[in-house]
Structure 1
Amino acid sequence: MKNTKKLVLSALFLAIGLILPFITMQIPAVGKMLCPMHIPVLLCGFIVGWPYGLLVGFITPLLRSVLFGMPMLVPNAVCMAFELAAYGFVAGILSQKMRKDMKSLYIALVAAMLVGRVVWGLVSAIVYTLMGAGFTWKLFFMGGFVNAIPGILIQLILIPLLVNRLYAAGVTGAACEGER
């Protein structure tokens, strides 16, 4: 039963990751600032665990690119796949190892966001080099941090509140692993 719950929740987060960007689709620059695919992936990592968070994170941008043409498969969706996989992985690992309180949630969230952005930068450098284009520190800093400030703020506010409420409701951890 626990695997069924995890699969259903993961499918739900994948669906949210596919649908949420439609809110910002009309203005791509806004979508890049708000990072709508990041939220369900981070939630998946916290709620379902690292293997599912990693997989949902990797699949979401690639599947969205194939189904809807956005983000562009190369380089955007490919780079995002590794970034979001890192988000789901780190959020899941740290939430599993840490206490279920707000301080720990923030530590895990910030760590996941930083690791994900570093992974995005490394993969972007490789992909852009293979494409014959350059990827500079300025592009990394602007794309990973400055342009994403609104999305980062939304994630820092929304995700700990949601995850904390879900912890309190018993939706995470024990709910996915069976009763303790």
Structure 2
Amino acid sequence: MFTVNATDLPNRYLKFDGMVQYYKNGWFSNKWTPVYVKLWSDSTMEWFTSKGSSSPTGSVILATVIPYICLGSQVRKIPQKKPRMDVTWNRDLLMAIAMDNKASTVQWFYFETVANIQHWVTQITQTLPRINDSVYQPHTTTVLQQDIHHSSVPPMSAENVLDKRQKALDELFDDSIFNDFGFGRTF
């Protein structure tokens, strides 16, 4: 669907790096582990077991999966089981990168502070092409049963729930991340 030809790219350079939490999903372990992440100017994101590691344990070319990147409350749209999080963690600091429109494989990252995720997203968007809105048509959003407030307070309408979530997301990120780049538009 999306292709990036490495020969069309200028010489890549390290754009940003740092430590984040990565959800390692496997046969014998399902846990969050700290990883060292490198973001390259060609939008390649690589993660390593430690800063001194010579070969990455995983990587993704973000330019090829832009509509499958979900931030904060957008991760609820991912049609896959979400990883367990520490009770003290803030779900708004999650980033999920699905590898296809069915989210058959999802890379999960947790940024420990608002400033950290904002800085990473700013750096990531500087490596991505802007989209043409006619290419990615917005999808309708469905409110899940778990999103409906069950108490003495009347339930919010679907529009109010979506507005409330969007306002929370807008506090973290500039609208251009979603409008110009198309984050989370597939799910």
Which one has a bigger Cα radius of gyration? 2
Give the structure, 1 or 2, with the largest relative contact order (CA under 8 Å, sep 6 or more): 1
In terms of fraction of residues, the more helix-rich structure is 1
- Identify whether the pair has TM-score above 0.5, normalized to the shorter chain: no
